[in-house]
Amino acid sequence: MTDGLLPLLVAVPVLAAVAPPLLCLRTTGTGWYVAAVACAVEAALAALVVRSVFLGGAVRHVVGGYERPYGIELVVDGLSAPVVALVAVVSLGVLAFAYTAGPRRNSFYSAYLLLVGGLMGVSVTGDLFNMFVFLEITGLATYALVAADRSGRSAVAALKYLILGTTGASLFLIGVGYAFVETGTLNMVDLSERLAGSYGDRAVLASFGFILVGLGLKTAVFPLHTWQPDAYSYAPDTVTTFISALVSTVAAYAVGRIVLTVFTPAFFEAVPAARAAVLAFAAVSILAGSALAAVQTEIKRMLTYSSVSQFGLVIAGFALVTSDAVLGAVVHLVGHGLMKGGLFAAAGVMAARHGARTVGDYARLGYRSPVVAGAVGIFGVALVGIPPSVGFLGKWYIAVGAVRAGAWPIAVVVFLSTLLTLSYVARLLERLYFAEPTEPTDPAVGAGTDADAGAGTGADADSEVGARDPDPVADGGARADSRAPAAVSTGMVAAIVAAAVVVVALGFATAPFEAFLERFLGGVFP
């Protein structure tokens, strides 16, 4: 089926990104409104495209009428439709958070929209070179957003990400070059047909290796994750919420697309060592990320290392190349985007309201900010994989896929990572509801928990919206931390609660995910 809406998914945010800099000539406060309109249109377009895929299967658009292998093809199928929906929904939802949290500069929203366009481009492109182009657009916009705090630490984090991200993109491009030399085409479907029968060639093996390592760096799986802790920790909380939910998520989707569509399961059958290497790579990331998260005391770093582990799970699901495992990988990909975006948004609210940046600073905040703390609890148990939640659904299908594929070590790794995830989530929840407050450990970020009277009785239960602890600047609190929002609004809290509700609701959504993937998996596993 051909759908002319596909190019609009990319064109709308990219063209809208031009408006905020032009409007700077007259006013500096209109960027958010431009982004809100563009993202609302984007969400409507995504809804129409996803509906078409759900009802009739994959939709495609050939740019300029030039068919493959020479033309540019845009495709949304059962694998990419959930990712397209995630990008559209999260982009709009984060704007509800950003309206009060900021940043308010027009240039910020120009980069924001450019990032949305790049993410959509990676999700819908049908050829490898354009995937590289959109990955670069995504990277350039993300570098700018990470540095939006305009502090020395955020600038260094952005520079580190720039260097490593460029390295990853270069490796990806080298891999694409090897594939082109071997086949003479860049279209994914055409590539899969021409690669068949030549999987053992050195150029094909080199192509697979370079592409996977390049995307592994973009996804931030261990040990290629070193850019991510600083980028997430030192970026403004709005930026961390946005990029944690989408940037590595879309890169992980690209891994799945290349494994399943370009190289296909036949490649792993012909070269079992490649499958073993990817699974080993993923298993190390799962365990190392969980272990590193368990020893962190700073909330944003804990959540960052958790992402290293969760994306290892997704990569393992794709590398197992069974229908159950792929279903689990897609479910976990979407669920993790919502869970981690919600957790980072909640961390921003806690920093704004209480100056809380470390696990110790969260002592008894469950009674002072009960709504946000309750959402943190929901996200946390979903991250562990406790039903009913989307986190359980994704892990369950990946583990089942591992057992059915005979890859028992991966099933054991999933279980061990669940125990490690439980250790740091339980520690956080224990601080929220049962621990006694401690003295601030880092004056630079502040603890903000000085007024503890009434905390145990919930006397300040409604203060999380539109209020702050007294004189946070004097106490070394949230306003001294330029990453934190200047205030907390009802819209910010509502966005977090909505994400928590969706995380639980998706735990019952096996049938819709299966409906999306049925036709796609039927083509991959004939």
- Residue 463: is its pLDDT beyond 70? no
pLDDT grade for 136, boundaries at 50, 70 and 90: very high
Residue 92 reports pLDDT greater than 90: yes
pLDDT at 445: 40
Is the pLDDT assigned to residue 222 strictly greater than 50? yes
Q: pLDDT at position 63, please?
A: 79
List Cβ neighbours of 193 (8 Å cut-off, separation of 6 or more): none
Average pLDDT, whole number, for the chain?
Answer: 84
pLDDT of amino acid 472:
37
490/182 Cα distance (integer angstroms): 56
pLDDT, one tens digit per residue, over 252-294 is: 999 999 999 999 888 988 889 999 999 999 999 999 999 999 9
Q: Determine the angle formed by the axes of helices 106-124 and 31-56, rounding to 10 degrees.
A: 10
- Pairwise pLDDT comparison (495 vs 459), residue with the higher score: 495
**Residue 1 C-alpha from the chain's centroid:** 29
What confidence tier does 526 reach under pLDDT thresholds 50, 70, 90?
Answer: low
Write down the pLDDT at residue 2. Answer: 55
Q: Above 90 in pLDDT, residue 137?
A: yes
Q: Which of 358, 314, 359, 351 has its CA nearest to residue 336?
A: 314
The pLDDT assigned to 27 comes to 65
pLDDT at 258: 93
**Contacting residues for 286 by C-beta, under 8 A, at least 6 apart:** 309, 312, 313, 316, 413, 414, 417
Give the span between the Cα atoms of 243 and 115, in whole angstroms: 9
For the ranges 27-31, 147-151, 384-388, the one whose mean pLDDT is highest: 384-388
pLDDT of residue 40: 94
Rounded CA-CA distance 403/410 in Å is 8
Tell me the average pLDDT across 496-515.
88
**CA nearest neighbour of 157 among 174, 143, 167:** 143
The residue with greater pLDDT, 1 or 193, is: 193
Q: Per-residue pLDDT tens for 323-356? A: 889 999 999 999 999 999 999 999 999 988 888 8
Give the residue, 386 or 29, on which the prediction is more confident: 386
pLDDT at 444 over 50: no
| Mean pLDDT computed over 398-402 | 91
Structure confidence by residue, pLDDT tens digits, 99-129: 888 787 888 899 999 999 999 999 999 889 9
Distance, in Å, from the CA atom of 332 to the CA atom of 248, rounded to the nearest integer, reads 13
pLDDT confidence tier of residue 21, bands split at 50, 70 and 90: confident
- Predicted local distance difference test score (pLDDT) of residue 439: 52
Give the 3-state secondary structure of residue 197.
coil
Q: Which residue has the tokens 């004056």?
A: 443
Give 223-256 pLDDT, tens digit per residue: 888 888 888 888 888 999 999 999 999 999 999 9
